[in-house]
Structure 1
Amino acid sequence: MMNIFALLKITKDFTHSEKAVAQFILEHPQEFLNMNTKQISDECFVSTSSIYRLCDKLNLSGLSELKVKISGSIDNYFKDNNDFDFNFPIRQNQTHFEIIHKLKEDYEQTVLSTSELFQLDQLKHTVHAMKKAKVIDVYTSAGNIPFALNFQFQMLEIGIRVHVPIDEYQQQLTAASSDETHFAIMISFEGRGLLAHTIPLLLNRNQTPILLISSPDYPLDDLSFQYHLYMSHHEDHYHKISSYSTRLSLLYILDVLYTCYFELDYEENLSKKLHYYHHMTSHQ
């Protein structure tokens, strides 16, 4: 299951009362663990039923299970430095030593926050759907294309062909000619441009299952996507030095997808990869 703190941050259908409890947990997790239902109710100015509705929306049996989830995740939550400036990790006149360590902290925080956004059931179902598909297509744009091509290369090393249409015409044509035997991976941080509208419409019309890799802030106004994995969303879309965090988060997700796919037939995939490289180098 997704880290409970990440789940509290990204769930969008909380009522006002449920939001008050969620916010209290995020701001005072240690105190929450030591409070009973009435104390939480009084502190947050909500009814006790709001607390149990919150648990129900989190697919938890009650307050006791919620506290178990919080207790199991609290150490990582405290490691996640909420004061770190992901948009401007480097400031003017910093030394090379400071730059090295600030970027290191950026990457560490990014991997931690991305790992806590994984939903294991979603990941499992996604990988099995990829395995079942005859064709895998990846739809993305701009700076994400090199990461899609790297994923394509990884999969080709184990004999799986992945298509990465690059320009808009190729993407539309690929989506229009897709069918239920294809599996589509859409990478779009917050649902801008062609990817947010035209491509999902074409894929849904052709009954092609879709994995969306996006920020938790992606505007989900329909049920177009069967599978969903989340990128870290600490960075602003424009107001930043560079996409340090977003790039690493996407690379991490694609590497996890590849590795989980590889693991389904570990010995066979390893044998194929080594066999291909043996043939490539045997004539040199």
Structure 2
Amino acid sequence: MLIRERLENFDFSNSEQKIVTYILEKKAAIQEMTTKEIAEATYTSPSTLVRIAHKMNFSGWSDLKVAFLKEEYLQKHFSEINANLPFQRNDTIMSIASKIAALEKESIDDTLSLITHDDLQNAVQIIRKSSYTSLFAVSNNLLITQEFQHNMSRIKKRVEICSLQGETIFKAHLADPSSCAIIVSYSGETSILNETIQYLKANKIPIIAITNIGDNTTARMADCVLRISTREKLYSKIATFSTDSAIVYLLDVLYSCIFALDYDANLQLRISTSKMIEAGRSSTVDIIKEEDHASR
């Protein structure tokens, strides 16, 4: 559930409700306002804002404000392209191509706006300190995570993906305590994944969640949460264009940050390995030719 929805549906006291109504009306305008200014505008007290934050399960008003403003940013920056129905039956093929490109670009921009330095650093350090990473996802999310596994393997970083949904619980139960886990769940309410998290937590395995911007079970149980663009309905859509782009982007960011921890060695490893194993590859297109083949 989004923060706005939680604020609209929670049973607040009269003074708390005045503030909630105010911030829901002002939206992004509260960004530059202090607790004192909001309290004065609503004839309440700054401590009331803190109480609201605690009722929303935030440590303080600042954390609630940041999360609320992130949601407002996404709502404000949604384009006219509907993430669920990005094109219509009468669109030309070039119009479809343009709309899909715009949607995927915006989904990446949305996801970038949701990344914080501390969350990303936390995720990178969890992976760095772990002997290997177990990645759990279902359906199409499971398919698109395989590129992350592939890239990580090329720099000798082990990522295990459980491709059999019925085996995820066993894999979580048998996971080595030195490992970590990544859970990819757009809804954050996939039963098999949340049950998997419980077994991971029992083994004291650090958990990184990739999920939507709202409050959900997966996010609450994870040690580190990375949010993705949240535009799509669960079922009423042509495809998961927006979500797929956001997840792939975020996994690419994680891989790149891990790569950068030992940039020179990893770059040399990738180049030397590919050069040796793929020595027979060639091209007639100059732009993609390797330098040692360019003069041949």
TM-score, normalised by the number of residues in structure 2? 0.76
Which residue is equivalent to 2:226?
A: 229
Tell me the residue number matched to 2:177. 180
In the TM superposition, 1:251-262 aligns within 5 A as 251-262=248-259
C-alpha displacement at 1:38, in angstroms? 8.2
Q: 1:266 aligns with which of 260, 263, 268?
A: 263
Going from structure 1 to structure 2, the CA distance change for 1:181 and 1:100 (only over 3 Å counts) comes to same
Given that 1:41 and 1:48 are in contact with CA atoms closer than 8 Å, whether structure 2 keeps it comes out as: yes
1:106 matched to 2:103? The reply is: yes
Aligned to 2:290: none
Alpha-carbon deviation of 1:141?
Answer: 1.0
Of 265, 270, 278 in structure 1, the residue corresponding to residue 275 of structure 2 is 278
Question: For residues 178-197 of structure 1, what are the alpha-carbon distances to aligned partners after superposition, in whole Å with 9 as ceiling and x for unaligned?
Answer: 13201100111112131122
What root-mean-square deviation, in Å, do the aligned CA atoms of Structure 1 and Structure 2 show?
3.4
SS at 1:256's partner residue? Answer: helix
Check if 1:193 corresponds to 2:194. Answer: no
Offset at 1:147? 1.6
When residues 181 and 267 of structure 1 are mapped into structure 2, their CA distance, relative to the original with a 3 A threshold, is same
Task: Determine which structure has more spread, i.e. the larger CA radius of gyration.
Answer: 2
Alignment-derived partner of residue 114 in structure 2: 117
Q: Contact 1:10–1:216 at 8 Å: present in 2 too?
A: no
- CA drift of 1:34 comes to 8.5
What is the CA distance between 1:164 and its match in structure 2?
0.6
Instruction: Specify which of 98, 122, 126 is matched with residue 123 of structure 2.
Output: 126
How do 1:150-165 and structure 2 match up within 5 A? Answer: 150-165=147-162
Amino acid at match of 1:57: W
**For residues 275 and 36 of structure 1, do their structure 2 counterparts lie closer, same or farther at Cα, with a shift above 3 Å needed?**
closer
Structure-1 residue corresponding to 2:61: 57
**Structure 2, unaligned runs of 5 or more:** 54-59, 282-296
Note if contact 1:21-1:51 (Cα within 8 Å) is conserved in structure 2. Answer: no
**Partners of 1:194 and 1:269 in 2: how far apart?**
35
Query: For the Cα contact (< 8 Å) 1:159–1:272, is it kept in 2?
Result: no
Query: In the alignment, does 2:35 pair up with 1:24?
Result: no
Helix, strand or coil: the match of 2:221? coil
